[in-house]
């Protein structure tokens, strides 16, 4: 990436950031209308890296489509750097890696990136984009002959080629291997460090925690929490302790420090913990006969249930 | 055209030239058929009272066949880009819808021109000999006759999936070719002639008359091309709107 200071794309007020105001979007489903997004409002300051966190079907992709101008909201407004999304897109200020999408065939990777670069007035040099996204090694390959991980890198290159003010990524790491993921997030970090705005959707709490300044939690088309990632993590990051412990009473276990709930599953007990470190010390001190101890992150789905009180999963 | 549009068109053309389907449908197939049909009849003058020598008649006939394929194949590219989600990716670039379609049509026309050139050379090997001015006039008339097919390509690209578009195109082109007289006129008079005169492929084949020294189309020919163009463009526009609204 060039080290030039951030210059807003022509005519755009980058300082104004992004505003989603009271967005509502419904789709026709087999059983009547499905409300994908219900009264959603978010503001993202320029230069922020924000994670849009939520289980499948929470409305993340619908929100992103409205942000990009691919979908018109039924109600509400979207403003990107002071303009309508379509205008920001026309100004070349927006790059995006959509959740689904293949590459067009019969072009070499380098040619595809050059083709996309030709659409912008001030695109990054093709070789630079290829280098940043780790695609130089297969730049001479035809797009239809790439592996899943390589395809993701090229899609990333397509999103970055305009050197956009706003980069939007919809579950970008879904098809990546571990190594690819790490390199990918390092690139995003460098990009964000240059004052660019990044919004990414994910259902991995760890990704939000590691790479975003702030997390917005969505469930069933609405925002259920919005704050710095460490706060969000504390809110949803509960763990469970599972141990074989036939004799102990649930009453006693519930009273242990750090434990918020206890259930019995045959000979085993399942403790939901706000502070699993304190809980495990107390458990072993009180019940040294505990066996087969496992500690697990509760997972986002579980955390959402706790947070929203939802019984069934979202659609 | 702006510089980005030119560059974009160049890559689009490159993609198409690398596609084997194109070579088969728009170049190889018409060329082989031409020699199969026209070579045995190369000394036949006034084919079925058309007033045109067989090599010239079939040359223009196969040009109509190959160029219909070249023009409609833009639909194949549009349909596969829709299925790949590439049209969504393009909608978050400054590429305008107008430029996108212009690129598709321009590419289709380039392919059609290649098909025309190949068949002209083949025609010359079978003794077709026309003055330079007539070549140009005949080609211009064919290019005009292809306008409705440019709109039809965009239409089917938004209506059909990549799986269904192949058979639909094959069947459609075969029918239009038979009606239009690619394999020889289907009727000299009567209702069948009336029907065949209503399809644009008929007038593509009739462009051969220019090569034989006659004038361009009668008013009816121009009217058929204009009506098909208007109707197909309107339908293509509607299919496009419905498609982007759904996405």
Is 60 exceeded by the pLDDT of residue A313? no
Residues of A with CB under 8 A from a CB of B: 68-71, 89-92, 94-96, 98, 100-107, 111-112, 114-116, 118-121, 158, 162
Residue B97 contacts A where some CB pair is shorter than 8 Å = no
- What is the pLDDT at residue A305? 63
Looking at every residue in chain A, the average pLDDT score rounds to 87
- What is the pLDDT at residue B245? 65
Tens-digit pLDDT profile for residues B129-178 = 888 889 999 999 999 999 999 999 999 999 999 899 989 999 999 999 99
Q: Is A38 left (phi over 0), alpha (psi -120 to 50) or beta?
A: beta
Instruction: Report the residue from A70, A92, A94 with minimal CB separation from B247.
Output: A70
- What is the pLDDT at residue B48? 80
Residue B24 contacts A where some CB pair is shorter than 8 Å = no
Distance CA A164, CA A221 (A): 27
- What is the pLDDT at residue B1? 62
Q: What is the mean pLDDT of residues B236-246?
A: 80
Give the pLDDT band of residue A52 (cuts 50, 70, 90): very high
Tens-digit pLDDT profile for residues A22-35 = 999 999 888 888 88
Give the count of Cβ contacts less than 8 A between chain A and B. Answer: 77
- What is the pLDDT at residue A182? 87
- Please judge whether A68 and B15 are an interchain contact, meaning their C-beta atoms are less than 8 angstroms apart: no
Residue A297 near residue A41, CB atoms below 8 Å = no
- What is the per-residue burial (b if ≥16 Cβ within 10 Å, else e) of B44-79? eeebeebebbbbbbbbbbbbbbbbbbbbbbbbbbbb
- Give the gap in angstroms from C-alpha B21 to the nearest C-alpha of chain A: 12
- What is the pLDDT at residue B246? 53
- Gap between the terminal Cα atoms of chain A: 40
- What is the pLDDT at residue A148? 86
A chain contacts of residue B19, beta-carbon cutoff 8 Å:
106
Residue B118 near residue B23, CB atoms below 8 Å = no
Residue B95 contacts A where some CB pair is shorter than 8 Å = yes
Q: What is the mean pLDDT of residues A107-121?
A: 95
- Domain parsing of chain A, residue ranges: 14-235, 238-298
Is 90 exceeded by the pLDDT of residue A299? no
Looking at every residue in chain B, the average pLDDT score rounds to 90
- What is the pLDDT at residue A20? 96
- What is the pLDDT at residue B198? 95
CA distances A188 to A14, A154, A159, B29, B84, Å, are 19, 15, 11, 50, 25
- What is the pLDDT at residue A6? 47
Which of A203-217, B99-113, B206-220 shows the highest mean pLDDT? B99-113
The CATH code of the domain at A14-235 is 3.40.50.300
Strand-by-strand arrangement of the A32-44 sheet: A32-44, A18-29, A75-80
- Please judge whether A106 and B18 are an interchain contact, meaning their C-beta atoms are less than 8 angstroms apart: yes
Domain count, chain B: 1
Distance CA B73, CA B153 (A): 7
Please name the CATH architecture into which domain A238-298 falls: 2-Layer Sandwich (3.30)
- What is the pLDDT at residue A300? 61
Q: Look up the domain containing B42 and give its range.
A: 3-246
Distance CA A74, CA A62 (A): 12
Portion of chain A with pLDDT greater than 90, in percent: 57
- Give the gap in angstroms from C-alpha A104 to the nearest C-alpha of chain B: 7
Q: What is the mean pLDDT of residues A91-107?
A: 91
Tens-digit pLDDT profile for residues B68-123 = 999 999 999 999 999 998 989 999 999 988 888 999 999 999 999 999 999 999 99
Is 70 exceeded by the pLDDT of residue B182? yes
Q: A9 vs A111, which has greater pLDDT?
A: A111
State whether residue B173 is helix, strand or coil.
Answer: helix
Which residue of A lies nearest to B11 if distances are taken between CA atoms? A115
Which residue of A lies nearest to B3 if distances are taken between CA atoms? A118
From A114-123, A290-299, B150-159, the region with the lowest mean pLDDT: A290-299
From A64-73, B66-75, B163-172, B207-216, the region with the lowest mean pLDDT: B207-216
Which residue of B lies nearest to A143 if distances are taken between CA atoms? B15
Residue A7 near residue A194, CB atoms below 8 Å = no
Is 90 exceeded by the pLDDT of residue A261? no
ipTM for the complex shown = 0.85
- Please judge whether A89 and B4 are an interchain contact, meaning their C-beta atoms are less than 8 angstroms apart: no
Is 60 exceeded by the pLDDT of residue A172? yes
- Please judge whether A102 and B85 are an interchain contact, meaning their C-beta atoms are less than 8 angstroms apart: yes
Q: A239 vs A117, which has greater pLDDT?
A: A117
Distance CA B162, CA B19 (A): 14
Distance CA A168, CA A162 (A): 13
Distance CA B75, CA B97 (A): 15
Residue A20 near residue A76, CB atoms below 8 Å = yes
Tens-digit pLDDT profile for residues B110-129 = 999 999 999 999 999 998 88
The model's pTM: 0.81
Task: Identify the residue among A65, A115, A144, A172 best suited for mutation to test binding to B, counting B beta carbons within 10 A and taking the highest.
Answer: A115
Q: In this structure, which long-range contacts are made by residues A232-237, counting pairs with CB atoms below 8 Å and at least 24 apart in sequence?
A: A232/A53, A232/A208, A233/A205, A233/A208, A233/A209, A235/A303, A235/A307, A236/A205, A236/A298, A236/A300, A236/A303, A236/A304, A236/A306, A236/A307, A237/A205, A237/A297, A237/A298, A237/A303
């Amino acid at each position: 990436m060039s080290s030039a200071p951030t210059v807003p794309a022509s005519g755009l007020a980058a300082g104004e950031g992004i505003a989603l105001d009271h967005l509502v979007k419904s789709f026709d489903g087999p059983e009547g209308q499905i409300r994908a997004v219900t009264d959603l409002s978010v503001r993202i300051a320029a230069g922020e890296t924000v994670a849009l966190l939520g289980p499948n079907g929470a409305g993340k992709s619908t929100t992103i489509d409205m942000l990009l101008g691919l979908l018109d909201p039924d109600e509400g407004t979207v403003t990107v750097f002071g303009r309508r999304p379509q205008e920001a897109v026309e100004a070349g200020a927006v790059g995006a890696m959509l959740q689904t999408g293949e590459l067009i065939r019969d072009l070499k990777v380098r040619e595809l990136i050059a083709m996309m670069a030709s659409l912008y007035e001030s695109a990054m040099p093709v070789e630079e984009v290829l280098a940043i996204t780790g695609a130089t090694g297969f730049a001479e390959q035809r797009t239809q002959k790439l592996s899943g991980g390589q395809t993701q890198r090229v899609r990333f290159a397509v999103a970055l080629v305009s050197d956009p003010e706003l980069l939007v990524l919809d579950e970008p790491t879904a098809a990546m291997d571990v190594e690819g993921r790490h390199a990918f997030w390092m690139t995003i970090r460098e990009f964000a460090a240059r004052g660019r705005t990044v919004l990414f959707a994910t259902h991995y709490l760890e990704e939000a925690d590691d790479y975003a300044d702030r997390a917005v939690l969505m469930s069933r088309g609405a925002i259920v929490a919005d704050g710095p990632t460490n706060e969000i993590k504390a809110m949803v990051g509960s763990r469970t302790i599972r141990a074989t412990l036939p004799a102990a009473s649930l009453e006693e276990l519930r009273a242990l420090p750090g434990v918020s709930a206890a259930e019995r599953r045959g000979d085993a007990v399942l403790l939901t913990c706000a502070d699993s470190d304190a809980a495990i010390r107390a458990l072993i001190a009180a019940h040294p006969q505990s066996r087969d101890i496992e500690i697990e992150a509760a997972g986002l789905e579980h955390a959402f249930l706790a947070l929203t009180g939802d019984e069934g999963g979202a659609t | 055209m702006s510089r980005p549009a030119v560059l974009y068109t160049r890559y689009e053309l490159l993609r198409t030239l690398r596609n084997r389907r194109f070579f088969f449908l728009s170049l190889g197939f018409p060329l082989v058929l031409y020699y199969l049909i026209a070579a045995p009849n190369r000394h036949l003058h006034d084919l079925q009272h058309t007033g045109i020598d067989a090599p010239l008649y079939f040359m223009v006939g196969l040009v109509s066949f190959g160029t219909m394929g070249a023009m409609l194949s833009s639909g194949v590219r549009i349909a596969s880009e829709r299925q790949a989600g590439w049209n969504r990716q393009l909608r978050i670039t400054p590429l305008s819808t107008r430029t996108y379609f212009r690129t598709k049509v321009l590419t289709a026309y380039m392919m059609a021109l290649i098909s025309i050139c190949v068949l002209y050379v083949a025609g010359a090997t079978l003794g077709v000999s026309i003055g330079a001015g007539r070549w140009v006039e005949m080609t211009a008339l064919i290019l005009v006759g292809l306008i409705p097919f440019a709109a039809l390509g965009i239409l089917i690209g938004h209506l059909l999936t990549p799986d269904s578009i192949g058979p639909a195109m094959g069947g459609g082109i075969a029918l239009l070719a038979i009606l239009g007289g690619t394999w020889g006129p289907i009727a000299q008079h009567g209702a069948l002639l009336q029907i065949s005169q209503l399809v644009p492929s008929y007038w593509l084949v009739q462009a051969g008359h220019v090569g034989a020294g006659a004038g361009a189309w009668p008013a009816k020919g121009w009217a058929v091309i204009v009506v098909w163009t208007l109707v197909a463009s309107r339908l293509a526009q509607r299919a496009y709107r419905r498609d982007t609204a759904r996405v």
